[in-house]
Copies of this chain bind each other. A is one copy, B any other.
Amino acid sequence: MFFGGDYNPEQWPEEVWDADVELMREAGVTAVTVGVFAWSHLEPSEGEYDFAWLDRVLDRLHDGGVKVVLATPTASPPPWFTLAHPEALPVNADGVRLTHGSRDTYCVSAPAYRFAARRIAGELGRRYAHHPALAMWHVHNEYGTDCRCDLTAAAFREWLRERHGSLDALNEAWTTAFWSQRYSDWAQIMPPRATQYLPNPAQVLDFRRFLSDELLSAYVEQRDLLRGVNPSIPITTNFVQGGWVSVDHARWAEVVDVVAVDHYPDSSDVSAEEQTAFAGDLARSWGRGSWLLMETAPNLIYTRGRMHAKEPGRLTRQSLSYVARGSDGAMYFQWRQPRGGAEVFHSALVPHAGPDSPVFREAVDLGARLGALSSQLKPAGRTAEVAVTWDAPSWWALQGAGLPSAGIDYLAAVQQAHRALFRAGIPTDFIFPTRELDLTGYRIIVVPHLYLVSDEVAAALRDFVASGGHLVVGPLSGIADPFARVGPGGYPAAFRQILGVRVTEWHPQDPGVPVHLDDGSTAFGWAERVELTGAQALARYTEGTLAGEPAVTRNGNAWYVSAGLDDTGWERLLGTIVAEADVSPVLEGLPPRVEAVRRGELLFLFNHSESEASVKLPTAAVDAVNGGSFPAEITIRSGEALVARLETPAGTPTATSASPE
């Protein structure tokens, strides 16, 4: 059980370090992440090292019983790097070369950067790989930078050569016949840079794939170095979840030893809890049941335009919600709020006000709870019966220009599908078309905005339906192949046959203007002209030129939703399908805004509502935190979280499983 956070002792005089360890013990901290941004302290000038201070930090932590997640500091090259290797600084699409003064100022394709990164990682590996405090390696930080320089261009061309084999194949894949873009020499290919008008979407898409792979190769270089020194230490890097992600985490998850995730909800209302559930389910699915929350904000939520101070209990509820969804702990950014720097007001366990503060007091309480749970936690495993597709390339493709509507929002569509299941209490996984699709065990698969579909994925979903699975396809799915080439003959080419429909026209709608269906549901932003070629209409449009035309259809077990249904519509539709597929929620009959999550024999209960709630437990249960029996019906105060250990014979360990009946 990891409980702790990013610890930056280099920002403080040594007398603070003793106080830190003392406070960590008070809070039950088990591990801290050290060194993430310490490059300029570890290598003050090129090739000269100062490890003495880090030795003292690690020893002191070890003496205090705190484990160390040791970072390689390669996300933030020091100022000397800028001067020594100007060609290794990143260049944006306008040709502006960025410089130090913030963080992440490097080009990942620059040999000088790679060399410097390997060198400092190697030094750290040699010095600390066998330190008794070392629990894990944390390579770099939140990989995700972008560069369009000439060194990047060269690396991009190499990657393209490997992917496409020949220029002819690339010209075909990128549809360069459009707008006279046919390449006659590899040297002509560039990263997307400032150009006159709309860029080639296939070029943009391949560049994003390349960047993900290029960053991954930088990770692998360091991983191999560190593994070589001491193969017993797990190695990871922290994935960042959010709206600007530039790597394909589903594929990265196959390469790290532990899926470590940074997650900062950006909403301060109830949807923050939905974001937390989404993040937890996504992380668990990346990690095939196992992961670690590496960063979240202890006492703040960063909403658009301001910070929101978390209400009492919210830190506890959100932290336990990640744990319930499989995280092997809860780590925070950061331990101690800094005195200065760009993030001087970023959240911390020990804030500017010091330990005599609401957040530190809640952290102490939470540390005790996690300590109590620690021995009872089993790996979450994979037990959900419903899965939603998540596909980074489809997201990237739908972030492009030239699409039929500026309102298309991949992330929102996936979150909406997940939210409908979350509100119904249905345990949900994500599945990832960019890695091997294992659909066994699922009864329902929901496919929102899966814009790019390969033949293999289409076949897998066809087989799923053929073998009795329920498939629910939303709009903008199955439109194009992996190179964004639209399939001919009517949308959605990849799924037309399974769904028994053929779409001849898209009818994007103005934002905020409702589109009504004849089953009483309402849609926004999107409608289509659907022809039935086997399916039956479950709901039809009622207005405008589409009046009377099918909106929601069913073809055996394959549903098609052509309209931009609102939350209520999705909840109703998925409710029907869940019932038909005989999928059960974790607990039946929960009060509103009370959440239940199973992890093994532990049942986590969260009352996110403003009032007290009563929950009937499915079996006899003990209080996993405080000990003692729970009554058959327990009362949960507003804002509180409880953990019950159910006393049924413990079958297979289950992750966010449905409650047994």
A45 on interface, CB distance cutoff 8 Å: yes
What is the CA–CA distance of A197 and B342 in the complex, to the nearest angstrom? 9
Question: Which of chain B's residues have a CB closer than 8 A to the CB of A44?
Answer: 182, 184
Residue of A97, A309, A346, A511 with most chain B CB atoms under a 10 A cut-off = A309
Is the beta-carbon distance between B338 and A178 smaller than 8 angstroms? yes
B345 touches A105 (CB 8 A): no
Asked if A649 CB lies within 8 Å of chain B CBs, one says: no
Which listed segment binds B: A78-86, A158-166, A422-430? A78-86
- A545 close to B188 (CB less than 8 A): no
Give the interface segment out of A34-42, A213-221, A256-264, A613-621. Answer: A34-42
A404 interface neighbour in B307, B407, B510, Cβ under 8 Å: B307
Which B-chain residue is minimally distant from A104 (CB atoms)? B196
Complex interface bits, A479-492 against B, C-beta within 8 A gives 1, otherwise 0: 01001111111110
Interface residues on A, range: 35 or more
- What distance in Å separates the Cβ of A78 from its nearest Cβ neighbour in chain B? 5
A339 engages B195 (CB within 8 Å)? no
Residues on B with C-beta less than 8 A from A80 are: 184-185, 188
Asked if A305 is at the interface (CB within 8 A of a chain B CB), the reply is yes
Binds B, one of A126-134, A273-281, A351-359: A351-359
Q: Which of B39, B95, B309, B484 is close to A344, meaning CB atoms less than 8 Å apart?
A: B484
Is the Cβ of A197 less than 8 Å from the Cβ of B311? no
| Complex Cα spacing A82 to B404, Å | 30
Whether A181 touches B353, Cβ cut-off 8 Å, given contacts A340-B485, A358-B529, is no
Are B98 and A195 in contact, CB atoms less than 8 angstroms apart? yes
Stretch at the interface among A318-326, A501-509, A596-604: A501-509
Q: Which residue of B lies closest to A337 (CB)?
A: B486
Q: Give the Cβ gap from A61 to chain B, nearest Cβ, in Å.
A: 18
* Residue in B closest to A189 when the chains form the complex, CB atoms: B79
Stretch at the interface among A198-206, A366-374, A384-392, A435-443: A198-206
Stretch of A169-177, A584-592, A624-632 lying at the B interface:
A169-177
| Min distance, Cβ A618 to any Cβ of chain B, angstroms | 33
How long is the Cα–Cα vector from A105 to B90 in the complex, in angstroms? 24
With most chain B CB atoms within 10 A of its CB, the pick from A174, A180, A184, A342 is A180
Q: Quick one: closest B residue to A188, CB to CB?
A: B79
For window 522-576 of chain A, which residues contact chain B by CB distance below 8 Å?
529, 544-545
The answer to the question of A475 belonging to the interface, with a C-beta cut-off of 8 Å to chain B, is no
Q: 13 additional contacts, CB 8 Å, given A105-B195, A311-B545?
A: A11-B178, A38-B180, A79-B184, A98-B194, A101-B192, A102-B200, A175-B339, A175-B340, A178-B338, A199-B342, A201-B340, A201-B341, A340-B483
Closest 3 CB pairs of A and B: A178-B341, A175-B340, A198-B342
